[in-house]
Structure 1
């Protein structure tokens, strides 16, 4: 099965950062105490790391003084023990905060996925008319993952980095203000150089993504229509276009990767440049007896603690932007208008006879453009009603209205005299089976696909349904028979897949049946078998058959001919042919094409 590639949150900017972050905090409010504890622990861990250089400075000074006479090992051990304890405590705090944040983020991600899954089932079908499947999937997977990753990593990193940055700044000024200024100036110079290079490299990264998108689009387009390209001798033009895009991608990718490769050496340069400045300034001050040697050692560590958080802050800020964009998409989806709540509806049809009536039905996908203008028709229980007409006449729309996938703008539809608006959608779907033009099979055995969502179906019923559609013999030739797994490796034709969905409808055995172009994917011989099976399937059921091949609905009790949202003719096959109207014109044109 082909997986759509939808947009993720990475790299996007939110429309309203503050509001989106408020929504995310509100969504996580149950876990806020745990998150706050984790962030306090992260802050405490950073503080312990900041204290470390000061204690190392003290050890250095004790050793330096002792070199003139004898080293006070007890003092060294005491300070070293305290240092080890603080570093150990810092590790423990970071471990606990990591455990808390991992637990919280996974629970938030799980809740978001559950809420999105529930939301999908509550959305009206019209939402999916204007939104791609890939986009919805991206919100459930990519965007939720982005939120989880940032909460788990960036929040604690952000707090630790801010604490580390401010703490090391304070400690540097506390230790020696001259060396603090020297360290800060050297860091600013180094980061200024790095920022200048990064700003110039951004355009190459953007160009690389743009060209990569073009290349992917070109390859997918050419190879999905490979036969057409070959037939029209378009290989040369396709190859030239590919090489043009590929060359531009090479140029931009080389430049962006080269710039990216400079980042680590630049970071090392910033750190080493800071070390050099600290050593030079420290040496001058030490020679003039203004500081001890331990201060130089402390500052060499403080420079590292001061520069490291700057990179982390920049990365965390970028991740927060991406997370806000992902959160915005998730909360936009959760805020979409849902189907009306039906918990107050008490009327229910346990067993329908099968009478269906459309009374002056009006419907449009938008208010200003009606698809069904004034549709009225009656189908008696057990009748086979065929709906025919040109593309866009409103045939499929009618059955969508019957199943309440959409709500009518005017008029009403009744089942056994009960308006369907008085029934829950679940109740209506309990009365209907459906076979569509597009087959839908899930990854599972053939038996599981046929029995889908029904309990207590015997193997005999499954076999009987497959025999009726002429599928049993084929299934028995498979190594695992009815236990054959249907997945990407299953070599089934479009017709065989359609036969499985028809067998599913047979096993479902509902009083109302909808067949929307059910035989469109099969050959003529298979169509005859299916037609015979359909005749058995429709016995005692009210069936609505949408067909373009008019030869398949000759035996319908009633044929409704639709054009531009209205019924322009109705009757059985012979009656409509004798009228020599629109139906006769459609039928004769197909007959001429067939001959």
Structure 2
């Protein structure tokens, strides 16, 4: 087995919590040890009290010197113990802050590199649950669990050692209730583990239902479909209620028995009964029962605390598993330093390209064609034919399942991402602007651009004057004092592409969501920007691409026809039928078709 296999095997053996908390494991162990030692020291005053009480009730009388030493040692131990516990808590919270920061950055970096197809098979609520809710759940684990365990274990350990130092027989019978507690507790945990997955899955369904309902609220209200939308959420709530009942019902009886076993009155009763019996038998003196009566009931609190925080551990295990699943998501690998290559030219070739989001969803199959430098290529076809998927493969949002795509003779897999996007720009139908200034949105792919370069790009995109009308101009923040219409957002995205000045441009129906006035402005901007560039146009209206140098007709993910507008009409195939069904409009023609 090589080193990689060994590492993989170790990862599989380690639990999800161990994997997620690996960067701060050492700090948490130190924090737990500080808390344990601190808890031990805080219990020293109890031993001092027992010692003073035995002197007061004994025949020898009180020795003032011993009393003062007991008081001084007890107070000093209490103060030192509290300081150590505080230090442990501080260290645990600092570790929690570090791991929270690390996980959120790591997840964002990971998700920024995953294939786009990964998102299509998952609800946004799942990602939100892992990035927000599950990391918040881990806060209780990192900031409180380990120090709490340390305090509890430390208190129990020092108490047991002290009791056995007093009388081993009395110590054994005094701890019998605790053995019963662990028996019932183990049974409860076994029942809990059997249902924790259903409980967590129910929470995930509620998150998804809420996100879907909020995202679709406009459609729900418009079509008076609130009953159906509410029913989806109601079903998720009902399912969670059943999962919660299944999770809690097996816990009730064993936990009630466990709590009854270590109630202070139960433990004290056991101590007094056996203490009286041992005194009658002459095994111990009556005063020797006093330390057990003082210390043993104090063990109940730490054990109950362990019981309560174990629930946090169960929840944290599921949270850690989901967080680790995100961190292990397959990514689009970048070329190794020695494998990186620079394109020799801008010719793009698709060679027997196939793609499927998963084994049962094949989207493209054996697609081959070439984009010659300086030409316009249009991709047309029915809805669902794979047009947008093809464009996103060219942008390497994901890699082909079969075949390859080359730029300047180099496989896209061997081109570093930043270099790829210096060669290929894109304006997609779905515009994504980030919550930042207009300036930062335009300069997203080129942060070092000057203000003059940004304004020049905005002028080319016909959006400069609109930006100047904003309260703070280019410093206005999207979503705050910069509210853009759909067409204006599209022009900002065009300015973003203009600033990169790529030789290849991919257009995915850039005017689909724009009104008539915005469409004219967008077409004018694209016409000027596209001049002299290699264009790939994803078309939903055939009249917009009738002057393209080549038209690729997709059907069911395969190239059905290929040629110029006139040639395809003459063949009388699918393109001709689509054209006859209304693909041509005399009133509109895409500006880039003249390029």
Pairwise same-fold verdict (TM > 0.5) = yes
1:389 deviates by: 0.7
Asked if residue 523 in structure 1 is aligned to residue 506 in structure 2, the reply is no
Which range moves more in the overlay, 79-88 or 178-187? 178-187
- Check if 1:432 corresponds to 2:424: yes
| Matches of 1:450 and 1:463, distance apart in 2 | 9
Matched, 1:505 2:497: yes
1:10-49 matches, within 5 Å, as 21=14, 25=18, 35-49=28-42
1:60 alignment partner in structure 2: 53
Which whole-Å CA distance do the structure 2 matches of 1:116 and 1:590 have between them? 47
Note if 1:383 corresponds to 2:378: no
Instruction: Give the deviation of 1:498 after TM superposition.
Output: 1.7
State whether residues 57 and 294 of structure 1, in contact with CA within 8 Å, keep that contact through their aligned partners in structure 2.
no
Displacement of 1:445: 0.9
With over 3 angstroms needed to count, the CA separation of the structure-2 counterparts of 1:445 and 1:581, relative to structure 1, is same
CA shift for structure 1 position 82? 1.3
Matched, 1:88 2:79: yes
Q: Which runs of 5+ in 1 are unaligned?
A: 1-15
Residues of 2 paired with 1:251 and 1:564: CA distance?
43
Identify if the C-alpha distance between structure 1 residues 70 and 164 changes in structure 2 by more than 3 Å, giving closer, same or farther.
Answer: closer
The answer to whether 1:545 aligns with 2:548 is no
Closer/same/farther in 2, CA of residues 121 and 52 from structure 1, 3 Å limit: same
Query: What is the CA–CA distance in structure 1 between the aligned matches of 2:197 and 2:15, rounded to whole Å?
Result: 30
Alpha-carbon distance in structure 1 between the residues aligned to 2:201 and 2:331: 36
**Structure 2 equivalent of residue 101 of structure 1:** 92
Q: Does 1:358 align with 2:361?
A: no
How far did residue 507 of structure 1 move? 1.8
Q: Structure 1 residues 535, 201: closer, same or farther in 2, change over 3 A?
A: closer
- TM-score relative to the length of structure 1: 0.77
Corresponding residue number in structure 2 for 1:584: 576
Tell whether the 8 Å contact from 2:353 to 2:365 is kept in structure 1 after alignment. yes
Quickly say closer, same or farther: Cα 1:97–1:402, change in 2 above 3 A: same
The 8 Å contact of residues 20 and 320 in structure 2, kept in 1 or not, is answered as: no
Using the TM superposition, name which of 95-104 and 289-298 deviates more: 289-298
Displacement of 1:368 in angstroms is: 7.3
Residues 328-337 or 192-201, more deviating:
192-201
| Aligned mates of 1:309, 1:564 — CA distance in 2 | 65
Partner of 2:463: 471
CA shift digits 1:47-94 (9 cap, x unpaired): 3344432221111233445xx998543321111111112222322332
Query: Who is 1:536 aligned against?
Result: 528
SS in 1 for 2:263: helix
2:450 counterpart (441, 453, 458): 458
For the Cα contact (< 8 Å) 1:60–1:293, is it kept in 2? no
C-alpha separation between the residues in 2 aligned to 1:277 and 1:494? Answer: 76
Q: Is the 8 A contact 2:50 2:294 kept in 1?
A: no
Residues in 2 aligned to 1:517 and 1:31: alpha-carbon distance in whole angstroms: 49
Q: 1:278 to 1:209 in 2, by over 3 A?
A: same
Unaligned runs of at least 5 residues, structure 2: 1-8, 588-595
Selected match of 2:65 from 53, 70, 74: 74
In the other structure, the counterpart of 1:302 is 295
* Matches of 2:386 and 2:66, distance apart in 1: 91
Deviations along 1:329-373, whole A, 9 cap, x unmatched? Answer: 3444444444445224456437x6533233443444456765433
CA contact (8 A) 2:28 2:146 kept: no
Deviation per CA, 1:479-533, whole angstroms, max 9, x where unpaired? 1222211136753322222221112112221111111121111112221221121
Give the deviation of 1:449 after TM superposition: 0.5
C-alpha separation in 2, matches of 1:22 and 1:337: 20
CA 479–138 in structure 1, closer or farther in 2 if over 3 Å, else same? same
Deviations 1:362-402 (A, max 9, x none): 44445676543333323222222211111222222322332
Contact 1:388 1:546 in 2 (8 A): yes
Deviations 1:108-159 (CA, angstroms, capped at 9, x unpaired):
4444445444433454444444344443454444444544542442223224
1:261-276 aligned within 5 A: 270-275=263-268
**Residues 566-585 of structure 1 mapped to structure 2, 5 A cutoff:** 566-585=558-577
> Could you say what secondary structure the match of 1:544 adopts?
strand
After superposition, residues 378-457 of structure 1 pair within 5 angstroms as 378-457=370-449
TM-score, normalising length: structure 2: 0.77
* 2:313 aligned residue: 320
* CA gap 1:436/1:143 in 2 versus in 1, 3 angstroms: same
Q: For residues 409 and 546 of structure 1, do their structure 2 counterparts lie closer, same or farther at Cα, with a shift above 3 Å needed?
A: same
Aligned residues: 575
Q: Is the 8 A contact 1:359 1:413 kept in 2?
A: yes
CA distance in 1, matches of 2:497, 2:468: 21
Greater shift in the superposed pair: 135-144 or 182-191: 182-191
Aligned to 2:591: none
Out of 288-297 and 532-541, give the one that drifted further: 288-297
- Give yes or no for contact 2:391–2:538 (8 Å, CA) kept in 1: no
Q: In the superposition, relative to structure 1, how do residues 77 and 312 fare at CA in structure 2: closer, same or farther (>3 Å)? A: same
Rounded Cα–Cα distance in structure 2 between residues aligned with 1:34 and 1:538: 57
Query: Would the aligned equivalents of 1:393 and 1:562 in 2 still touch at CA under 8 Å?
Result: yes
Mean CA deviation greater in 244-253 or 311-320: 244-253
Q: 1:283 to 1:324 in 2, by over 3 A?
A: same
Greater Cα shift, 374-383 or 230-239 = 230-239
Q: Which residues in structure 2 correspond to 1:44-443 (within 5 Å)?
A: 44-64=37-57, 71-147=62-138, 149-175=140-166, 184=175, 270-275=263-268, 298-340=291-333, 342-345=335-338, 348-349=341-342, 353-366=345-358, 370-443=362-435
> 2: distance between equivalents of 1:505 and 1:355?
19
Q: Is the 8 A contact 1:42 1:97 kept in 2?
A: yes
**In the superposition, relative to structure 1, how do residues 538 and 214 fare at CA in structure 2: closer, same or farther (>3 Å)?**
closer
Change (3 A) 1:516 1:293: farther
Q: What is the CA RMSD across the aligned residues, in angstroms?
A: 4.9
Which SS does the other structure have where 1:583 is aligned?
helix
Q: Aligned equivalents of 1:174 and 1:106: distance in 2? A: 42
- Partner Cα distance (2:61, 2:580) in 1: 115
